[in-house]
Structure 1
Amino acid sequence: MRGLAALALALGSALAVAWKWKRGLLQRKRLRVVGVIPARYQSVRFPGKPLVSILGKPMVVRTWEQASKATTLQKVVVATDDERIASACRDAGAEVVMTSSECPNGTVRCHEAVTKLLGEYDIVINIQGDEPLIEPQIIDDCVRALQNSPTSVYSTACTPLEHEHVEHRTRVKCIVDCDGHAMYFSRGMLPANKDGVVRPFPAPFQHQPYLLHLGLACFDRAFLAQYCRMPPTPLMLMEDLEQLKVLENGYKIKVIVVDHKAHGVDEPEDVAVIEQKMRELGLS
């Protein structure tokens, strides 16, 4: 009897520990999510890009409409320092948060916007305003990837990249480890090889694709505040890629790979491509 009692006590203790661990894991699921679309008027390559017309609507409005379809987001706001952008978004029904013109990048603008919102959020997802065809499902998948990866502070999405675009420096590439965590991002050819020639991966990995980074940045809310206090890092400055500061400081980025053919608007010539894609999809 004593043996059974001891066994029952040990089993009860084990179950209590398991439940405590599971409860802690559930608490880290980070369920309260806000989407932020940072938008600034000034741009070296494409001034006024957020307001460029995409089949009759400003591009930032198109992006907001797509993001608002995501089911994991409790709120979607546009963060800007420009009244022209704010007015166009409000006219479309979007919530706007005015931010400082001194924000050095979209990440800092997202952080400032969230500090001005009522309510607490566990996750902040930075949605690039130049992705008018971003799929709501990709946003949801990116959020869930972070929710299901307690050791990661950031998640993002990539899609296979055609070989003819691998060397284009307007396309940001990514490589991941065997667990789906980012190892590096670059505007150059990534991965590279000793010949400097774009080609399929060697056997038995010949079906492995080059990966294009889609630009979604899904942050743990507490880490976002910490990130904005971190000083710039060497690789971040060399590549001009904000996400490298996460890796250089030893944090994990979870990457999901999705099938997404409609890329963002980097240059004026991309507008016609996006409009044609929208017509094909029956969007207006």
Structure 2
Amino acid sequence: MSVLIVIPARYASTRFPGKPLAELTGATGKTRSLIERSWRAACAVNGVDRVVVATDDDRIKAASEAFGAEVVMTSETCANGTERCAEAHAALGGGYEVVVNLQGDAPLTPPWFIEDLINGLQAAEGMGLATPVLRCDGATLNSLLEDRRAGRVGGTTAVFGADHSALYFSKEVIPFQSGSYTDTEGTPVFHHVGVYAYRPDALLAYPTWPVGPLETLEGLEQLRFLENGRKILCVEVDARGREFWELNNPEDRPKIEEMMRKMGVE
């Protein structure tokens, strides 16, 4: 199947203005922008036909082209990354069988997360989209809980049924659990990895639906699918010992840089 990866990027952000151009220093002291590191993560995925950055901002366009990325300019009216992916896919003439939305705040996304996601969607006939979920160990769960205690909106969690169809996504830590866990112990909480793989019909339908109350309250674009009766396949992925975190807030920058140093990411 032909696969397009779109990296949607906007300059305006309530929590972190200018986030795509924020610089991260790797293990060797090399500094690269968040958008470049996300693009490099996308280019490392096997079986992908094309990778583009989709933005409405000339600063992001100039920075992306400077490190060699292909850029598709999209409108300022795109409400979220999924709408921007739909517009970018259309601008490129369509025709791709799978469109992957790799949000530009997850430079530590391993290539096999996306490869497993694409394979999962391809194998699930009748599913219009899929997204990865990662079982939290105790250390990750405690980080999520600490963000909430501090009043920060951090990572997203997901719950799903026996068929791996999503039941709900939240910026709260769900499901409720009263136990405590060691740093390396598995927990019943799944961290939602902010990547989506769509079949074209699901991507085409998305912008035609109104924004619902759950999407509004949570600020999570994928809830629009659930609110309109569309199933989302949750594909469980394996970190293989790698740490994973997203750059949601300015406070996440040193955490991600420390992870890059530990993993030897340049």
Distance 1:200 1:147, change over 3 A: farther
Instruction: Tell me the amino acid that sits aligned with residue 69 of structure 1.
Output: A
Shift, 1:207, TM fit:
6.0
After superposition, residues 39-188 of structure 1 pair within 5 angstroms as 39-55=9-25, 56-118=31-93, 120-161=95-136, 162=138, 163-167=141-145, 168=148, 169-188=153-172
Distance 1:235 1:124, change over 3 A: same
Distance 1:247 1:228, change over 3 A: same
Distance 1:95 1:207, change over 3 A: closer
Shift, 1:93, TM fit:
0.8
1:198 aligns with 2:173: no
TM-score (norm 1): 0.82
Aligned to 2:255: 273
Query: How large is the RMSD of aligned CA atoms in angstroms?
Result: 1.9
Aligned to 2:245: 263
Q: Which has the larger radius of gyration?
A: 1
5+ residue gaps, structure 2, are: 26-30
1:229 aligns with 2:208: yes
Instruction: Say which structure, 1 or 2, has more relative contact order (CA 8 Å, 6+ apart).
Output: 2
Shift, 1:119, TM fit:
5.4
Shift, 1:208, TM fit:
5.5
Shift, 1:209, TM fit:
2.2
Q: How many residues align?
A: 246
Deviates more, 1:260-269 or 1:143-152: 260-269
5+ residue gaps, structure 1, are: 1-30
TM-score (norm 2): 0.87
- Output one character per residue of 1:192-251: Cα deviation in whole Å (capped at 9) or x when no partner: 3xxxx53279xxxx9652011111111111111111101122222222211112112222
Deviates more, 1:44-53 or 1:232-241: 232-241
Distance 1:111 1:94, change over 3 A: same
Shift, 1:154, TM fit:
0.9
Distance 1:116 1:258, change over 3 A: same
Distance 1:61 1:156 in 2: 22
Deviates more, 1:169-178 or 1:141-150: 169-178
Instruction: Tell me the amino acid that sits aligned with residue 260 of structure 2.
Output: M
Equivalent residue for 1:252, pick from 221, 231, 242: 231
